[in-house]
Amino acid sequence: MSKLQSIKGMNDILPDQSPTWQYLESTFRKVVARFAYREIRFPILEHTQLFKRSIGEVTDIVEKEMYSFADRNGDNLSLRPEGTAGCVRAADQHGLLYNQTQRLWYQGPMFRREKPQKGRYRQFQQFGVEAFGMAGPDIDVEILQLGTALWQALALTEYLSLEINNIGSAQDRQRFGAALTAFLEPRAEQLDEDARRRMYTNPLRVLDSKNPAVQEALQGAPELADFVSEESATHYQRLRELLESLGIEYRENPRLVRGLDYYNNCVYEWTTESLGAQGAVCGGGRYDGLVQQLGGRPTLAAGFAIGAERLVLMLDSLDKVAASYRQSVDVYLVAIGDGSTEKSLALATALRGAYPQLRILSHCGGGKYNNQLKRAFASGAALAVILESEAAGSEVVEAARIRRLDDSGETVRVALDAVVATIGEYLTKSEA
Ligand code: ATP
Ligand code: MG
């Protein structure tokens, strides 16, 4: 029988890869905590209607990328393709949005049936932040500060650049969309099939096309900036002033639109050149209409989502993960002969109690001295503690050898009841 394989575009994260994930996750948690954001968790599965009403019926995600199915009772459900919709649904359902402000973060898997390639998967992880009840642009800038602080903490600042744009209100975009359609209609032959369809259903998405022929056809097209209301332009102007006063570098990209319909006013994206085609690592903006669109009271809102896989690719290729995260064993306990098993397991307990920061591995399953020592070296541990019966056939174990697993091979013999203290001395020496 053939072995079953994982679903295309859905990856396993193996133990050798998890240090990078742990490093990224713990750094993200530290940074959001510094900004006083609080965690929210919401289901992976929601009613399909939630995503249709928030992301938009005429978007790539809803039209062709969602994993949707009918539940046994006929309910239409979908695996979440992004986090904002579920976050809003949960926050509103539990009364977190009315008459108050919230700063929230989330983390978890998202699902989109896209063509898998490097940096683009069908199950991927996002980290997101969402802020509710604040008009901005101060809160927008705070969110951008948070992103900036995360890149700094990960030592990725020099590889990422921030692009911003003002996409105005829904009404502004409707007027602009009509003008864009009118501009594109006589040029329909220069467009690809996707853009010809989008030209009527969602003309702004044509701007986002990666097809050079389509970009060519857009030369001289109406500019969104000419259609945005004064209120929106003022917000954007103030945002730029604040960014400049804080020394946060950005580039304005008038073609930047997001693939989700709920955004308004300022939108932004951090991109990198170091990943090839999949260069966007974080995208976000304001979405002041979404809560109401989902049936809640009008609520100001803003946030972003980070693609974790793309950051993991960057951290690995740029070798940015601290060596301590890669270390998986510190002390390896070797036990030779029957009498040593019990003593060695008890010693492991004592060491774990005395030095909770150390990773202690007890060799299990027996085996010859040379084999056990080989495993100890392969584990990457700094020290081996070797317990061995005093004589062949004897069950008496009175002393242990502590061996440095480096080229020096330095070994000391200590009484069994002195092992814990001696390991402590090694620790202070290596810290000094
Ligand atoms: P892209 O332009 O790369 O398709 P997007 O605009 O669809 O991105 P968003 O919906 O804004 O992405 O999601 C935020 C972030 O999530 C993206 O910047 C990206 O880093 C990541 N992301 C989106 N889709 C995927 C995917 N299929 N696989 C891996 N990461 C993804
Ligand atoms: Mg996309």
In testing the pocket of ligand 1, which one of 282, 287, 315 has its CB within 8 Å of the most ligand atoms? 282
Asked if residue 118 lies in contact with residue 105, where contact means CB atoms within 8 angstroms, the answer is: no
Q: CA 348 to CA 399: how far, in whole Å?
A: 15
Q: What is the pLDDT of residues 95-151, one digit of tens each?
A: 999 989 999 999 999 999 999 999 999 999 999 999 999 998 999 999 999 999 999
Cα-to-centroid distance, 198 and ligand 2 (Å)? 15
**Buried (b) or exposed (e) across 335-372, using 16+ Cβ within 10 A?**
bbbebbbebbeebbeebeeebeebebbbbeeeeeeeeb
Cα-to-centroid distance, 283 and ligand 1 (Å)? 8
Indicate the pLDDT class of residue 322, thresholds 50, 70 and 90.
Answer: confident
pLDDT of residue 430: 78
Closest atom of ligand 1 to 259 CA is 6
Which residue do the tokens 């108050």 mark? 100
Q: CA 39 to CA 106: how far, in whole Å?
A: 6
pLDDT of residue 394: 66
pLDDT of residue 255: 82
In testing the pocket of ligand 1, which one of 107, 110, 275 has its CB within 8 Å of the most ligand atoms? 110
Residue 333 DSSP SS3: strand
Indicate the pLDDT class of residue 392, thresholds 50, 70 and 90.
Answer: low
Mean pLDDT, the chain, rounded, equals 93
Closest residue by CA, ligand 1 atom 11: 283
Closest residue by CA, ligand 1 atom 5: 259
pTM: predicted TM-score of the whole model, two decimal places: 0.90
Average pLDDT value for residue range 321-333: 90
Question: SS3 string of 277-311?
Answer: CCCEEEEEEECCCHHHHCCCCCCCEEEEEEEHHHH
Cα-to-centroid distance, 259 and ligand 2 (Å)? 6
Q: What is the pLDDT of residues 184-207, one digit of tens each?
A: 999 989 999 989 988 888 888 888
Indicate the pLDDT class of residue 388, thresholds 50, 70 and 90.
Answer: confident
pLDDT of residue 432: 65
Indicate the pLDDT class of residue 307, thresholds 50, 70 and 90.
Answer: very high
Ligand 1 pocket list (CB less than 6 A): 82, 112, 114, 119-121, 124, 126, 259, 278, 280-283, 305, 307, 309-310
Cα-to-centroid distance, 91 and ligand 1 (Å)? 23
Closest atom of ligand 1 to 120 CA is 28
Q: What is the pLDDT of residues 333-346, one digit of tens each?
A: 999 987 889 999 99
Indicate the pLDDT class of residue 319, thresholds 50, 70 and 90.
Answer: very high
Q: CA 112 to CA 66: how far, in whole Å?
A: 5
Whether residue 391 has pLDDT greater than 80: no
Whether residue 157 has pLDDT greater than 70: yes
Q: CA 101 to CA 104: how far, in whole Å?
A: 10
Percent of the chain whose predicted confidence (pLDDT) is above 70: 98
Closest atom of ligand 1 to 60 CA is 7
Q: CA 92 to CA 96: how far, in whole Å?
A: 6
Q: Which two tokens stand for residue 164?
A: 């911003």
Closest atom of ligand 1 to 304 CA is 14
Average pLDDT value for residue range 351-367: 95
pLDDT of residue 68: 97
Cα-to-centroid distance, 298 and ligand 2 (Å)? 27
Whether residue 227 has pLDDT greater than 70: yes
Average pLDDT value for residue range 80-98: 96
Closest residue by CA, ligand 1 atom 8: 280
Closest residue by CA, ligand 1 atom 28: 120
Q: Which two tokens stand for residue 286?
A: 């304001």
**55: CB partners within 8 A, 6+ apart:** 61, 62, 81, 82, 85, 260, 261, 262
Closest residue by CA, ligand 1 atom 19: 307
pLDDT of residue 401: 94
* Distance spanning both ends of the chain, measured CA to CA: 57
Whether residue 331 has pLDDT greater than 70: yes
Q: CA 350 to CA 427: how far, in whole Å?
A: 15
Q: Which two tokens stand for residue 156?
A: 């990725």
Q: Which two tokens stand for residue 242?
A: 């604040």
Percent of the chain whose predicted confidence (pLDDT) is above 90: 77
Residue 150 DSSP SS3: helix
Whether residue 261 has pLDDT greater than 80: no
